[in-house]
Structure 1
């Protein structure tokens, strides 16, 4: 029936069962009038298509492969967020996309823009409907256009991947969403099970594999989905134009006397790292994961959180003290551009010895990834605040730093290059590394004097 119908995966839900997972307050949107120019067998006059549609309607109780409406998504705290819900009915011709499906999807996005509502897609589809040929396939362009208009309207889009999510539905409503959640074991991939190479590894076409490849933000168990979705909707619908003040320092309060002391303090094994700062700054966080290009970097923590001090939503991108890989830079770029579009302020935490410089990092496009992050930070209209919390190693650290709004902790340093590498480039002996550190003027107080940082934050109470 479809370009990528699937045969296995996790538990399957009807469209309305999926809706009931996340909301008990759902109202259908009026269905657009069906096109009048076709006979019962559709634009290709595919013999038996009309009868197949009728049987699907009798079996599912639905008139098309998607159900669209408005809902209040409620979290455990009783707070609700209104949204437009799009839920696929896989029992209706494999959840395939046809022209009437496109009509409903366009109407749902139009309603969302007119009423300033986020869009949540509960996806379960095998792809485009063969019985409508190219008239079905071009619906992907139509869906992409509607998604782009909703994006331009600065409204968030969240996808929940059910079993299966394949074909054009994955390549538009699924992979094109701002935040992508998936149910465990769901089959996810552009190629459905019936059209893959015979030797394809089925484990590669799962929600878990897509998470590992940076294409999904989180795999969420069914029982946790309502709270996860409610939390994301609250986070992404809380714009603010006020910059975030830098968090207080968590480490030692004394300033280093020498450049080498600054390096030693920043590299201390027990110095507070990004996770400690994020835990102190936010009362609740939700992470995004992956660069959408096949990679993840555990050393770059990105997501959105509720600031403990005032309850505001803040986006964060934080280096965790490791050499940052290209996927980490691309994930941070994705985070900052999403926050900029949704008008959510950003906090970045800088702590890296520098960009990963191994051969694999070069093959993964390290230079281009760093360039994109520089551009995202420089071009952001939403306020960006940076706190240097440890090592600031060259351009790999500077790419995450906000121009004119970067602060430093007492146990940090920023340098054009690590003192050891600077000495090596200058062909100095190892015993000259400490003197080189002083010459580089890398202490927090030096950075203030040079105008590189605005100030040094004090230790919190």
Structure 2
């Protein structure tokens, strides 16, 4: 296996082949832009030691059959630091990506800005941020694979600024490098694993799986389906009669054996990769977001509630997913299933209201079509925030309500035993939702194919 600690080793780890971009800056003279004593000699020693002429190697390569621009950092070259030449090379790589309509893969291993160039080095963060934003505006995906270490401006621009952030196990990932942290800092807080736990990294990928995972991501993000997509087929009992009452509809939606979002995702997609976290410090395990491949080979983005009260991080992650799909021209499928938004004190401290508002705004302003399927409980605004206006559907074993019947009874100052009667009055059954114009229809089971009939299905 290739050595991921070097720039070219990291490229060889993920790419089937690679064509390097030529840069002919010539040897560094005059000790650089601020005349740092001995800088030219240190630069020359780094070049002799590594065989590179700068701290970054750029070019194009094939990853899993998808052509991409690759930007890989060489940590042995002055700590993989960002200088003016580094910024110029990364800018040229991004410009090439926009010219050829290619995704960008960044493989950072950097200690941050180069001290030998002072503020001229720090300004490269603005250069990199602008290039990343121009590539984002062009509708091209950017994926980062964080190596050890990824700190400082490299993490805060090309790393954290990417659409999807993967990391190698045990990589040091932080804005603060090891030499500038508080003396009592917990080292575990500055790892890829900690960043994953707090919503800043999408997945930790071992080196031997990286090529396959990265190839899947590139394939998914560059082959959008045409939208709007049709809702999935219902997975419940195809012979079940419609719920006779509101309380029966609620009971069906809450039944422990009722198909959940995971079953729908497995049945609908042949391949999936998921994003994780809201990029604000939170992860909600009850909200799954990512990109899936349809049987025809095209990609749909999905955001799925998994039956638990949705936390602020879940709403923010879903909003992040909808906006990313819009930039990449990928249609969106949402699966609605929550008793409502989490309402504990921690949820309020984490900004439940603003998170729900942001998801409402993301769905309302979506740049690609959104299709929604209610697969279980539809509790209040926490469910409605993920529902597509004018293109929502429901399964037979679901309900949608202004609020859960028990909460509605409490608000109306009725005893708990009247929750069932309240459910009946709320007109929350699938058939009621169609009649009221809340959803477009009730989806049925997948029609049996000729092959199914031959197999006795």
Normalising by structure 1, we get a TM-score of 0.94
User: SS at 2:71's partner residue?
Assistant: strand
Match of 1:303 among 290, 297, 305: 290
- Deviation per residue, 1:157-207 (Å, 9 max, x gap): 000000000000000000000000000000000011111101000011111
- Spell out the pairing of 1:42-441 with structure 2 (5 A cutoff): 42-74=32-64, 80-253=65-238, 254-308=241-295, 310-441=296-427
Q: Which runs of 5+ in 2 are unaligned?
A: 449-457
Of 245-254 and 45-54, deviating more is: 245-254
1:24 equivalent in structure 2: 16
Equivalents in 2 of 1:70, 1:459: separation in Å? Answer: 45
Name 1:459's counterpart in structure 2.
445
Moved more, 143-152 or 234-243: 234-243
Give the distance between the partners of 1:275 and 1:148, measured in 2 at CA: 34
CA shift for structure 1 position 32? 5.9
- Indicate which of 12, 15, 31 corresponds to 2:7: 15
1:330 CA displacement: 0.4
C-alpha contact 1:32 1:103 (8 A) present in aligned 2:
no
1:446 matched to which residue of 2? 432
Q: SS of the residue aligned with 1:272?
A: coil
SS at match of 1:163: coil
SS at match of 1:369: helix
Contact 1:32/1:107, CA 8 A, preserved across alignment:
no
Assess if the C-alpha contact under 8 Å between 1:390 and 1:413 holds in 2. yes
8 A Cα contact 1:39 1:45, kept in partner: no
* Greater RCO structure (CA 8 Å; 6+ sep): 1
Q: Is 2:4–2:207's contact at 8 Å kept on the other side of the alignment?
A: no
Judged with a 3 Å threshold, the aligned counterparts in structure 2 of structure 1 residues 455 and 13 are, in CA distance, closer, same or farther, namely: same
**TM-aligned CA deviation for residue 311 of structure 1:** 2.1
Task: Tell me the CA shift for residue 94 of structure 1.
Answer: 0.1
Q: Return the offset for 1:138.
A: 0.4
**Stretch moving more, 248-257 or 61-70:** 248-257
**Structure 1, residues 414-433: CA drift from partner, whole Å, max 9, x if none?**
00011111111111123322
Q: Secondary structure at the match of 1:125?
A: coil
Residues 65, 97 of structure 1: 8 Å contact kept: yes
Q: Is the 2:19–2:60 contact (alpha carbons within 8 Å) kept by the matching residues of 1?
A: yes
Whole-angstrom CA distance in 1 between matches of 2:242 and 2:35:
79
**CA distance in structure 2 between the partners assigned to 1:183 and 1:42 by the alignment:** 33
Give the paired residue count.
Answer: 443
Aligned with 2:336: secondary structure? strand
Name the structure 2 match of 1:8: none
Q: What is the CA–CA distance in structure 2 between the aligned matches of 1:91 and 1:276, rounded to whole Å?
A: 47
Tell me which stretches of 4 or more aligned residues in structure 1 moved more than 4 Å: none
Query: Could you say what secondary structure the match of 1:386 adopts?
Result: strand
In the superposition, the TM-score normalised over structure 2's length comes to 0.95
By how many angstroms is 1:34 displaced?
6.2
Query: Could you say what the CA RMSD is over the residues aligned between the two structures, in angstroms?
Result: 1.2
* Cα displacement string for residues 49-105 of structure 1 (whole angstroms, at most 9, x for unaligned residues): 00000000000000000000000112xxxxx00000000000100000000001101
Determine if contact 2:253/2:376 at 8 Å carries over to the other structure: yes
Q: Is the 8 A contact 1:88 1:95 kept in 2?
A: yes
